Chains A and B, each alone.
Chain A
Amino acid sequence: MRRSQKETDDAARVTHRRALLLGGAMTAMFAVLGARMRYLSVEQADRFKLLAEENRISIRLIPPARGLIQDRNGKLIAGNEQNYRVVITREDAGDVDAVLAKLAHVIPLTADDLERTAREMGRTSPFAPVTVADRLSWEDLSKVALNAPSLPGVSPEVGLSRLYPRDTDFAHVVGYVGPVSERDLEGLDSPDPLLTIPKFQIGKIGVERWLEDHLRGSAGTKRIEVNAVGRVMRELERQEGTPGADIRLTIDADVQNFAQARMGSESAATVVMDVTNGDILAIASSPSFDPNLFVRGISHTDYNALMEDDHRPLANKTVQGVYPPGSTFKMVTALAAIKEGIIDVNTTVRCPGHLEVGGRRFHCWKRAGHGAVNLEKSLAESCDVYYYDIAQKVGIDKIAEMGRILGLGIRHDIPMSAIAEGIMPNRAWKRERHNADWRIGDTINASIGQGYVLSSPLQLAVMTARLATGRAVVPRLVKSIDGRETEVAEAPDMGISLEALRKIRSGMHATMNTERGTAFSSRIVEPTLVWAGKTGTSQVRNISAAERARGVISNDQLPWNRRDHALFVGYAPYDAPRYAIAVIVEHGGGGSTAAAPMARDIMLSALSGGLPPLAAYPQSQRNRIASMLEDLPLRDAEGRVSGPSRA
């Protein structure tokens, strides 16, 4: 069938017309697309460019190196060590279990490690690296690096972590660091962005905590390019932060070490202070613990062992522990009485071995009595009746006032944790605290540092420094921050008559240097180092009338935790005071037998800047002292323990 030419032409014309119509529609569509493209990439370009950058760029913080803590001579107390660890990124690993199983063949992994890793992975996003093993040796790290091709998602990393090279020596002073906890962040309006880094370590107690702001430094930042799943592609820009400030303490690491070693396994505390400027040369609490355990994450077993030890290694007895000061308090009572004009330096009191006050009989430690006692003798032989007598005349309020002047019952602000205020009781205090009237018996007890009076070894050291100088010395623990010396607090005159102070000092001198003195056996014979001090023995239990009737049981027969505390305060040299010391041995028995010898060794160590010179000891004691010193587990220059290993 052949179509007519006209029909064909007509049909072609219709097709042409409609094709052009469609073409017009297509053109319109192109115009729409072009306009839309113009809108997106010309008009809105800036907005989308910004969005693309936001997509791409992620800002990560670089944790700064934490400031070092050094002793007064620059010896390292807290530093940072390179820490090799292995991390795994879920996104890259694929089959995490298989990779971990392979990794376990390369380096030793405990079931604990694996469980912790699995737990952490459940919490974090798939591209966040999770630490599998921490503190690896260099060899282990190399093994992981070598096997990297068969361990997808696993990468070795180097970071800094806190190290305390003199572990137990400074545990209570410096404290330790640990990961930021919810509690640390509470109450912070705008926390340092560093704190939001997972596992970022901050100071938890001690100097690490109280000087955290100085030690932390400020974060650096790096701008990194990330892909859609957040994986880091490359680093674009890096801005280093500022490392934390280095801190020098007033402590001499050698003296601190000696004090710690000398106290050994006793439950004891020592504070040595420079009386001229308040610098704390040593502040040691025993037994101690290894702060490195806390940085690494202490195990339950270790922690429970520390908690259950009846010698309380975690407690910082130097500032946190408060004890009845016992006879070491007598100087306060005497000075209060002199200041109020109740006695003068020559007043004598007769001691028959006891004193009846308000129908109660108060005993002197020496049942036979001391006879006629003046101020000097009362201190040297530690007569109690002398103080019962003067205390009831001067009254508790005046005694408390003098106590505060000398630094007892007030909080000394040094950057350590849980600093106790102690108790310097007076009438108002008892009314408020116990809602009871102050009774004369309370005064009698307080006069010899018993009853309500409680003070910390730091306070006793401050008291001794103030007695030795007559000025209100303020303790200082931080020598310099970032190279800038910290201010030495002004030590104004306390306004106590020089005559009275002299008498007190000569009494303390007599305590140590006269044969009847309670601490005669702990004297120093080296003429330039001769020292003065006062012993104290404080009861931790009440002696009942029945007990007294049976005769007081000697300390040796009591269980450890009911024995008396042994205390000693002293300063040296006597003519030109340099250091003051306070020692307490919990449940140590007598101050003269447990605390004074220990104090002498530590004081001599401070004076000589190392091992006590044997020449300073009385001839008869030198052999014994020499062998004792030899057995002490002291540290060498690097901080390692030499000599006999510790138990």
Chain B
Amino acid sequence: MSFLEYRVKYVPSGLKKVLYLNWPLVVLVTAVAAVGWLALYSIAGGRMDVWAGRQMQVFALGAVLMFIIAFVPIWFWRNLSLLAYLFGLALLLIVEFFGTVGMGAQRWIEIGGFRLQPSELMKVSLVMMLAAYYDWLDVKKVSRPLWVLIPAILTVIPTLFVLMQPNLGTALILLMIGGAVMLLAGVSWWYFAAVITGVVATIWAVFASRGTSWQLLHDYQFRRIDTFLDPTADPLGAGYNIIQAQIALGSGGWSGKGFMQGTQSRLNFLPEKHTDFIFTTLGEEFGFVGVFSILLLYALILVFCYVSALQNKDRFSSLLILGIAVNFFLYLAVNLSMVMGLAPVVGVPLPFLSYGGSAMLVLLVAFGLVQSAHIHRPR
């Protein structure tokens, strides 16, 4: 198997690669991250040293990583896909046995004061693995049961590990990422129809299992669903997050209360205001206009990923970029649905905005891959 099945007429080399970067993407990502710094500065009551400063450092580190990855040819990364996947699985196993317990779940490992969430890394590894698999696989075999079973297993293994942590949100995202890449690769609709039917049946089974000896979800997960369905039932307990988040978003009105004027976040009514719920701060301080602008930035990032993916004639690159775009989209869709009260509270950060090193670094690594695919595309 050769490295390239297409003819690379011209691959930019050396510093010329800088010119061939997908610059709009770089600018957009930096812009979103900058909004995040502003929000973190505001939430800390006008202090850099609490969150914003560290977030900028992490971003700088991640940006360096992104450029390094971008300048390395994409076929090198493609050949590392299996390794990346196995590495991700290994980390998930480690976190399972030696991980730090936080909020009743094992989620991260401490490496030199840095918290790494292997499940974040796994999302990218899975995309790489599946893209490499379909790049390798004869397109005629894509929809044959055996060849569908393999990527399905590749998806389910990490999903089960994450589910055991237990982290339902990320597990579902992993499933959807795997499904999305398979869909994009051309797997027959029938399989998806079957799976969706199965999922619906499973959901029914989960709810039916409640309170029985074979209960399929943790009690706290059931409670989250309950409070999602009726947050007002327990305004000071489980429903508090959702209610306060909506108050913050809604009270921003059309144009917001102004930078550093958000009462909900600054007076601590908002839980997790600097991490998963950072969007509420933005909504409160910059209003509908500000929030809409951020949605626009996110949409533009996706559009540029799409354009890059569809231009790319390399199957691996194309699937990789689309997979990462789907991953990116799932982050923000799940997070925003959660803070706006459209979905249960699951621990998913808002990409490039939420405070936290793991997700930020992994996302920048992913965008490094996107850039690498973009630079080294067949022309």
Contacts and interface: CB of A to CB of B under 8 A. Distances in A.
B313 interface: yes
A26 B336 CA distance: 13
Given A14-B186, A37-B288, A38-B288, A22 B310 contact: no
B224 interface: no
B54 interface: no
B246 interface: yes
B333 interface: yes
Nearest to A38: B288
Contacts of A34: 292, 295
Interface stretch (B20-28, B107-115, B248-256): B248-256
A443 B196 CA distance: 109
Contacts of B288: 37-38, 41-42
Nearest to A227: B267
A18 B315 contact: no
B249 A51 contact: no
Interface in B56-102: none
B329 A26 contact: yes
Nearest to A16: B310
Interface stretch (B10-18, B29-37, B148-156, B318-326): B318-326
Contacts of A550: none
Contact of A55 (B185, B267, B306, B336): B267
A172 to B, nearest CB: 51
B302 interface: yes
Given A41-B250, A42-B254, A225-B267, 14 more contacts: A7-B140, A11-B315, A15-B318, A33-B342, A37-B292, A40-B340, A41-B249, A41-B291, A42-B288, A48-B246, A48-B250, A51-B247, A52-B263, A55-B269
A47 interface: yes
Given A12-B313, A41-B288, A225-B263, A49 B251 contact: yes
Nearest to A226: B267
Contacts of A15: 184-186, 315, 318-319, 322
A249 to B, nearest CB: 50
Contacts of B318: 12, 15
Interface in A1-35: 1-3, 7-8, 10-12, 14-16, 18-19, 22-23, 26, 29-30, 32-34
Interface in B260-300: 263-264, 267-269, 283-284, 287-288, 291-292, 295, 299
A36 B245 CA distance: 13
Contact of A19 (B249, B252, B310, B336): B310
Given A2-B5, A12-B313, A33 B340 contact: yes
A40 B341 CA distance: 10
A124 interface: no
B139 interface: yes
A44 interface: yes
A2 B185 CA distance: 19
A40 B295 contact: no
Interface of B is mostly: helix
A56 interface: yes
A32 B251 contact: no
B1 interface: yes
B62 to A, nearest CB: 24
Q: What is the interface residue range for chain A against chain B?
A: 35 or more
Contacts of A40: 246, 249-250, 283, 340
Nearest to B279: A37
Contact of A22 (B183, B253, B269, B291): B183
A23 B249 contact: no
B267 A48 contact: no
Interface string B225-264: 0000000000000000000101111111110000000011
Contacts of B329: 26, 29
A42 B306 contact: no
A45 interface: yes
B48 interface: no
Contacts of A18: 183-184, 186
A92 to B, nearest CB: 14
B337 interface: yes
A17 to B, nearest CB: 9
B187 to A, nearest CB: 9
A10 to B, nearest CB: 7
A55 B250 contact: no
Contacts of A41: 249-250, 252-254, 283, 287-288, 291
Given A33-B333, A41-B250, A3 B186 contact: no
A8 B315 contact: yes
A637 interface: no
Contacts of A229: 268
